[in-house]
Amino acid sequence: MPGDVIDSEAIFAPLAEFRRLGLAVSGGPDSLALLLLAAAFADRHAAHARFVVYSVDHALRPEAAAEAAYVADAAQRLGFATRVLRWEGPKPTTGIQQAARAARYGLIAAAMPADGAEILVTAHHLADQAETVLMRLAHGSGIEGLRGMDYFAEIGGLAVVRPLLGIDPADLGRLVAASDLVPAQDPGNLDPGYERVRWRQMLPQLAALGLDARRLSRFADRMRDADLALSEMATTAMAAEPASGSGRLTRAALVRLPRAVATRVVARLLAEVGGGQKPHDLAPVETLTDRLRMEPALKRTSLHGCLISSDGATITVVREAGRQAARQSAVRSARMRSDTSVTRN
């Protein structure tokens, strides 16, 4: 019985609050294992109607359509509703993995409301977590990034849960090998041209030195605890500064804070005022924070789409004019496209 290899109850019972779960199944060994675990759980509880399986044909390889069809057939034989989605249109020549990931989540997010699915379950596992931590460490990420992937996350408005993060992919592979399912093999998963693949290939060597996937995952858990503590301290510090919501902060308050908390406060101000995503590399924010704390006054400098200055008493952060104009232009363009779409319909 597939559910005997890994406890399917431990995987899905904590998700009882969600009436219907989407399962992201690509056809690889990890996602097929997720499918088998869902089947074991559904068989035990007569709960097949609580699941809907999504498989995305990215149209990047000739085999992709057949692989998505295989997933749909396997899922239907196991008693699940299925939906095959296709990524249409031209594909980028660079950053293809990131673009495919965004397209996959976007397609599934658009399909889930009609199916009544409230959250998407993915098959990210222990090695995926280890690779993520290593990549972010190499990119200069701070504690916020070194917490790795979270159990619950929101990606572009889509609620995602990763219940297999603590499970060794070898165990998932054994589960599939014991079934009648045949996993697809994406050659991209072996291509060292992708950074994640290079780290994946490095993991056995790191494990031989004592830095295995489980230890890296435990490190991520500790970074998550530290990140939550820093976040709470930064929230308290900013709440004590009435002007912080308008992009201003007293320098004296920043000086009093521990450096890690001060850096988090500055990062938040930049994100709130600049309106962009926080980059992985924390070093420029740390450098700026040190200057704001140590220099009596700071002439205007720029970072992350913001202009930052200090007169020695008050730190001021404003959006760069060019970035603001570009953002307003993008908003206007989006509204025009929306209006045109409504008119055509």
According to CATH, what is the number of the domain 2-216?
3.40.50.620
Read off the pLDDT band of 69 (50, 70, 90). very high
Q: What is the pLDDT of residues 271-324, one digit of tens each?
A: 989 886 556 679 999 999 999 999 989 999 999 999 999 999 999 999 988 655
Taking the C-alpha atoms of residue 73 and residue 177, their distance in angstroms, rounded to an integer, is 18
Segments making up each domain of the chain, as ranges = 2-216, 240-345
Taking the C-alpha atoms of residue 111 and residue 118, their distance in angstroms, rounded to an integer, is 11
Does residue 200 have a pLDDT over 90? yes
Does residue 337 have a pLDDT over 80? no
Q: In what order do the strands lie in the sheet with 314-319?
A: 248-250, 314-319, 306-310, 298-303
Q: What is the pLDDT of residue 278?
A: 59
Q: Are strands 51-57 and 21-24 parallel, antiparallel or unpaired?
A: parallel
Read off the pLDDT band of 189 (50, 70, 90). confident
Q: What is the pLDDT of residue 290?
A: 97
Place of tokens 């509703």: 81
Q: What is the pLDDT of residue 280?
A: 63
Q: Which CATH number fits domain 240-345: 3.30.465.60, 1.10.760.10, 3.40.50.920, 3.40.50.300?
A: 3.30.465.60
Instruction: Write out the two tokens for 176.
Output: 């599939």
Which backbone phi and psi does 278 adopt, to 5 degrees?
-70, 125
